[in-house]
Structure 1
Amino acid sequence: MPQVSALFRHPVKGFTPEACDELVVQADGRVAGDRVLAFRFASAVTPESRDGLAYWPKSRGLALMDFPSLARLRVRYDHTALRVTITDDGGRTLVDAALDDQGRRRLEDAVTAFVADSPEASRLDAEGVLPLRLVGDGRTSRFQDRPRGFVSLHGAASVQALDAAVPASVDDRRFRSNVVVTGTAPWDELGWSGRVRVGDVLFDVQAPIARCTAIMANPDTGDRDARLLRVLTKEFDQQAPTLGILLLPASGESGTVRLGDEVTLAPASERVSH
């Protein structure tokens, strides 16, 4: 029986995932505490609109797609105290600050200094990038890559198949999914449709996840050490580089997903077509 083997949320968009024992799935289809903060470029002072929803495209702020060195930073977020601690890959604390005005400026300065000393430093020279601004109230999940949000899921076997195809080490963190499932064959989840139950939460399957260059960044070093987009299309005969699926809670329900929860495709009576 497939079951949940790992759960992640990403308090700061584009930064370190936080492994969790459980995730609260909100009725709006987002995970509580996931992408509640983001470092946006100076010119992105207001969100854009797409499909009638507020939307902060990742091209308008710090994201692994264009700043792979961010993977070297480790983020701890205290969602009760609204406090962010950022350390580098050597364990040195770069900044530890609350989300008040002064703390936000300290966080912005520390991250700007880090990027300025990284291989992506020249990207800061583009018009409208500086000064970076830390946006988000620290509670509202709103900086997902898609306006609708979604909960993301992939099978561990799919990642293992990809890992076996390249010299570099490839693990679940590269794909920044919320839910990782074991007990399925490689790529099985790409064929799911209708509804799937994860523990107590019934989800509607929405679509496969087309991937960007973010997955090429090693989650420990920030080096682009694997040409995974090409491997997915050439070695696994995909039309577009794809790994994982998007989910929405059925009928706007909310609930909690926990490590070890069983994952089952809903019976035909509970399925819907998309």
Structure 2
Amino acid sequence: MEGYLTQKENSSATEHKRFAFLELMLIWEGCVSAKQIQSQFEISDRLAEIIIKKYKELYPDNIAYSGEKRAYIPTPQMVAQFSDGTLQDYVQIIADHAMVSELPLPKRRIDPAFVRPILLAIREQKRLKIDYASVSNPNFSQRIIQPHHLVFDGIRWHVRAYCEKNQGFRDFVLSRIDPAFGGELLDGADHYDIEDEDWNAFVDVEIQPDARLEENRKHLIALDYEMTEQNGEYRKTVHVRKAMLMYFLRRMGLDQYHQKPEVQQITLTAHCQAQLKL
């Protein structure tokens, strides 16, 4: 992929988007035609043909014409260059959303007005005054933080920051920052992400099918999580920032233990539990 960097830099953002669509159609639908590109981007048939031709010139090992389908198909050795090629990417770009349904989740209130100063504080390494509330302290109180990253845990957005009140790095849930106050930029920060030990430390989280399951069910769970078999046991290792470990365990259902293995499905390996001291 790095070998094509110069070619990509010479392509426009619009062309990137069109090439990404072309790739995702090749990967997930098995073919792509000029008509599909024309319909997706509301362009002329001729321009759609030019897009395919240019992509084929850039990446001849990715795409081939099929007379039988009267469309272009992916080659066996195709490697996506303009997208990750994931199913999520495909779902986001397809026009026919009637084929796909997603589980609706409660929307978290994220007001751009108070995210802007957080982003500015991160970018310019500034201190930031906010009003914040938590479950343990539900009344808004003033905090001065020194943010260095935004974090998404799969459900909620957080800002990772040094807290001057608690004199340490911690997470602040964005939806718990008082939008009425908005945030006030102060002078330069004196604590940086390089000092955040839990942010810079990574842990290997090793999961396995619940040992209580029968072998055929273990095999199914292994397929779900792309586990590999090691010495007759299924395993999957995920590299996680120590600061985000709690969110990972919670999201994967590993922060509790169900009585029914069919509900639990996966657990941490004994070695991993010992390493993480859980």
**TM-score of the alignment, normalized to the shorter chain, above 0.5:** no
What TM-score comes out, normalization by structure 1 length?
Answer: 0.26
Higher strand proportion, which one? 1
Greater relative contact order: 1 or 2 (C-alpha under 8 angstroms, separation 6 or more)? 1
TM-score scaled by structure 2? 0.26
